[in-house]
Amino acid sequence: MKIIYLHQYFNIPSMSGGTRSYEMARRMVAAGHEVHMVTSSRESKNESAGWKTTIEAGINVHWYSLPYSNHMTYRKRISAFLAFALSAQKKAATLQGDVVFATSTPLTIAIPAVFTARKLKVPLVFEVRDLWPEMPIVMGALNNRFLQFLAKRLEKWAYNNSNAVVALSPGMKEGIISTGYAASKVAVIPNSSDNREFQFNAEAGEQFRVKRSWLGNKPLLVYTGTFGKVNGLDYMVKLAVELKKLNSDLRILLVGDGSEKSLVVREAREANVLNDNLFFEHAIAKSEIPALLSAATMASALFIDLPEMRSNSANKFFDALAAGKPVFLNYGGWMHDLVKSNHCGFAAWQEPIELVAKQLDEKIHDGEWLTNASTAARNLAVREFDRDKLAKQLILVLDEAVEDKDADVASIAPGIYY
């Protein structure tokens, strides 16, 4: 197949952020398919305008210069979404392919996806990474009723023009079929575990610790990712305060960037935990995350407690599993259920912060619990979420769409986990 792959925020391992599309696309190439990634280059304002093409692990990547960051206002972000949609439509239409595969967010990626598929007269498979427009509405990004109406219409239009849909969690599938889309045409393929790349490396972990005088051999809880409103990282400030009261030697490290970072740092300073038991570092490349997780005792995934967030498919959750690290969660949903049923971490959803601190301190100093939880995390990664396995499912979904056999792609990836 020749696959036209649309993803506005595509990352390669040398960049910070999720690399799902890179990992899936390079496996498509390895399986003998030709992949053209249409994306944006947003790291620098000094880049020349227009398009450039690079080859990344055999993927033909077409980059459109369009600055973007989590620090931008909602209005500017929406403008960036629309600007890319228009440019991507023109670019993708010049590429000849057998199938269009488009991944959100943002939902506006549906615009170039649908029109490209129509022009080329090829099937469209649409991937849903978040429940848009529910999330921007609940977070206040779309507070205009007319824009909300348009966003909901865009959502249904995207589904109705898709031969098949890929959801990143069972909850997302429920949201998709609630719009009237056929359940049999929705495959569930979550974010995945890169089990080779993230396998525990004692030497890399030790080197990471040696470079940080504040860490030594103390237990370490890490967070890697965005400092956004939806992540609610002030939770870690509160947790650090309670751990300090317990005289715990547990250290917390938050690695990343985002619009809320300066606020969280200020709260940590005011609470007298900054650089005491709570530390911050800048965002790092995806390729550096395995060493960080090898140094960690436990890894966390955090969100504010919103029903709309419970169906998320956070990369950091699957990275932690791949590294064989117990997962610390503070939200409900399918991942909370996985942690509870597989005994591979600490699910602290809706628990009082004082109790969470006490139990976390106990668990992180319990060698037997850590060993069992670590083993369970790695086993879950290998059994259910191995990237190679899930990439084969995705390729099969695309192939079924090309062969006009997409009536029951749900059977390829039903989204049932144990």
Q: What is the side-by-side order of every strand in the sheet holding 251-257?
A: 278-281, 251-257, 220-226, 298-301, 327-329, 345-347
Burial class (CB in 10 A: 0-12, 13-18, 19+), 144: exposed
8 A C-beta contact, residue 253 and residue 223: yes
- Are 138 and 306 contacting, i.e. CB atoms less than 8 angstroms apart? yes
pLDDT at 282: 96
What's the CA dihedral at 102, 29, 226, 333 to 10 degrees? 70
Helix and strand element counts for the chain (H, E): 15, 14
Q: What pLDDT does 88 receive?
A: 92
Q: Which residues, 6 or more positions from 111, have their beta carbon under 8 angstroms from its beta carbon? A: 85, 86, 89, 154
DSSP label at residue 408 = G
Which of helix, strand or coil describes residue 409?
helix
CB burial class (10 A; 0-12, 13-18, 19+) of residue 238? Answer: middle
pLDDT of residue 132: 76
For residue 354, give Cα distances in angstroms to 198, 305, 316.
32, 17, 25
Residues of the chain with CATH 3.40.50.2000: 2-192+386-411, 202-384
Q: What is the pLDDT of residue 227?
A: 95
pLDDT value, residue 308: 86
First to last CA, the chain: 33
- Please give the average pLDDT of every successive group of 10 residues along the chain, which has 418 residues: 96 93 98 97 70 97 84 74 89 95 91 96 95 77 83 92 97 94 97 96 96 97 94 97 98 96 98 98 96 98 92 95 98 97 97 98 98 98 98 98 93 94
Q: Which two tokens stand for residue 67?
A: 């600055």
Gap between the Cα atoms of 103 and 116, Å rounded:
14
Enter the pTM of the model: 0.93
Helix axes 234-245, 353-364, angle to 10 degrees: 70
Per-residue pLDDT, 156: 93
| CATH number at 202-384 | 3.40.50.2000
Q: Are 97 and 120 in contact (CB under 8 A)?
A: yes
CA triplet 297, 216, 320: central angle to 5 degrees? 20
Instruction: Return the beta strands (E) in 262-365 as ranges.
Output: 278-281, 298-301, 327-329, 345-347
- 2.60.40.10, 3.90.25.10, 3.40.50.2000, 1.10.10.350: CATH of 2-192+386-411: 3.40.50.2000
Q: How many residues does the chain have?
A: 418
Coil vs helix vs strand at 222: strand
Contact at 8 Å (CB) between 233 and 227?
yes
